[in-house]
Structure 1
Amino acid sequence: MTDNNKRIFGYVRVSSRDQNLDRQIESLKQYVPDERYILADKSSGKDFDRPAYKALKMMVRPGDIIYIHEMERLGRNKQEIKENLEYFKENGVCVRILNIPTTMMDFSGFESKLQKMLMEMVNNILIEVLATMAETERDNIRKRQREGIDIALKKGVRFGRPRKDLPSCWQEDKKKWQAGEVTAVSLMKKYEMCSSTFYNKVNAEKEK
């Protein structure tokens, strides 16, 4: 907490639980005096339904400052990022983004209102441009992935787990099950199948 009672927070996020937050946290430590005020989420940025982010919005007060490592940590959708940045602005909370240097500047030292307005305009333009570029790049990545998958499928490449051929005794055991001599559960255990796989195998053979 600063001398004028402004609190300083940090927010970090990765999109999956096996990813590491250390790099982002380390980058914020020089700006956030108390590491307990660095809130972290391990979830997708496709929406803002994230526990730590929700808690952050409830905790901050007018005059507080939030540091984030990069703008993309707020989400993947440009419109949602802009709406949330506007939310903090309307509530008197300053958001500083490490990879947008102009957001790191303290406007309180500017004597002229015109200077403040110009810097805010520059920030808004940079955020708009960078958010658009990030969104476009993600769209291009998804498009390239989809094209690659389609090409692979045409070449006969199979995705997912390799198909496991059943032993010759499967047909005999299946007839016993159909006759009520053995249970489906016992065959699932014998062939190490889950229930959906078992019934998919049975139904697929019916359709042949």
Structure 2
Amino acid sequence: MKTVAYIRVSTKDQNLQRQLDEMKKFGIEDKYIYEDKTSGKDMDRIGYQYMKKSLESGDTLVIKSLDRLGRNQNDIKTEWQYFKDNKINVRVLDMPALNIDYSKGEAIEGLHSMISNIVFEVISWQAEEERTKIRQRQREGIESAKNLGKHLGRPQLNLNTITKYQRQVLENNYKEWKAKKITGVEFAELLELKKNSFYKIVKEYENTLN
């Protein structure tokens, strides 16, 4: 029987170190710590699926909080039932009342089980509500940006947004290209531009020469 941990943050820019430190304090070896840097909107995550496949009856899964499993209440319920059905112990560090423990036979039933189920329903609901709020804030932010006329997505590529290096390459090689001493493909590669962007920027540059 082994003890494994699952840690997760929602984006690649976020840091897993705090959760990692908690798991190491718990005595879990690095090889048994599975991680993801992605949204909890569903369970189709590489680290999570590897962790789940590694679990056997009698093993223990440790998580920092219930929302590290996910943000969808139905998905969380399904996974929780999977752990119960397969007699996998679960330790929730931030909410011990949710712990599933088969180490001394069957998990505790009765009043403790009822309280645990109530707490689980509340916490899993809160996890999904938080995801709903995040999505709402994102929609409001996008709508606000549109109303202000802001461009969303990648910055538009044009003569004014290329780097100083690209501008220098353009100026140094433009006459060579016009004289057909280098091809358009070679010129675009020197500028590190795709075909459409290359011709667009060259045209803008030519307009400055007139």
TM-score by length of 2: 0.70
Q: Give, in whole Å, the separation in 2 of the partners of 1:193 and 1:135.
A: 42
User: Given the alignment, which residue of 98, 104, 121 partners 1:128?
Assistant: 121
- Change over 3 Å in CA distance of 1:139–1:198 after alignment to 2: farther
Q: Give, in whole Å, the separation in 2 of the partners of 1:87 and 1:105.
A: 12
- Change over 3 Å in CA distance of 1:110–1:191 after alignment to 2: closer
- Give the unaligned 5+ runs of structure 2: 161-166, 203-210
Given residue 96 of structure 1, which amino acid in structure 2 is its aligned partner? Answer: R
The equivalent residue for 1:164 is 158
CA deviation after TM superposition for structure 1 residue 87, in Å: 0.4
In the alignment, is the contact (CA less than 8 A) between 2:90 and 2:100 conserved in 1? no
In the alignment, is the contact (CA less than 8 A) between 1:32 and 1:38 conserved in 2? no
CA deviation after TM superposition for structure 1 residue 191, in Å: 5.8
In the alignment, is the contact (CA less than 8 A) between 1:12 and 1:69 conserved in 2? yes
In the alignment, is the contact (CA less than 8 A) between 1:45 and 1:73 conserved in 2? yes
Q: Please tell me whether residue 23 in structure 1 is matched to residue 23 in structure 2.
A: no
Further displaced range: 182-191 or 144-153: 182-191
In the alignment, is the contact (CA less than 8 A) between 1:10 and 1:32 conserved in 2? no
In the alignment, is the contact (CA less than 8 A) between 1:41 and 1:51 conserved in 2? yes
Identity between Structure 1 and Structure 2 (%): 37
Q: Give, in whole Å, the separation in 1 of the partners of 2:111 and 2:103.
A: 13
Counterparts of 1:78-93 in structure 2, within 5 Å, are 78-93=73-88
The equivalent residue for 1:71 is 66
Q: Give, in whole Å, the separation in 2 of the partners of 1:196 and 1:84.
A: 48
Q: Give, in whole Å, the separation in 1 of the partners of 2:199 and 2:158.
A: 15
Q: Give, in whole Å, the separation in 2 of the partners of 1:139 and 1:37.
A: 32
Given residue 120 of structure 1, which amino acid in structure 2 is its aligned partner? Answer: S
The equivalent residue for 2:206 is none
- Give the unaligned 5+ runs of structure 1: 1-5, 203-208
Q: Please tell me whether residue 56 in structure 1 is matched to residue 65 in structure 2.
A: no
Given residue 73 of structure 2, which amino acid in structure 1 is its aligned partner? Answer: K
What are the superposed Cα offsets for residues 168-198 of structure 1, whole Å, 9 maximum, x if unpaired? x9xxx8xx99xx9985424534765323534
Given residue 69 of structure 1, which amino acid in structure 2 is its aligned partner? Answer: K
Given residue 130 of structure 1, which amino acid in structure 2 is its aligned partner? Answer: I
Further displaced range: 70-79 or 27-36: 27-36
Q: Please tell me whether residue 146 in structure 1 is matched to residue 144 in structure 2.
A: no
In the alignment, is the contact (CA less than 8 A) between 2:87 and 2:102 conserved in 1? no
Further displaced range: 149-158 or 188-197: 188-197
TM-score by length of 1: 0.71
Given residue 125 of structure 1, which amino acid in structure 2 is its aligned partner? Answer: I
Q: Give, in whole Å, the separation in 2 of the partners of 1:86 and 1:110.
A: 18
- Change over 3 Å in CA distance of 1:18–1:131 after alignment to 2: same
Q: Please tell me whether residue 44 in structure 1 is matched to residue 39 in structure 2.
A: yes
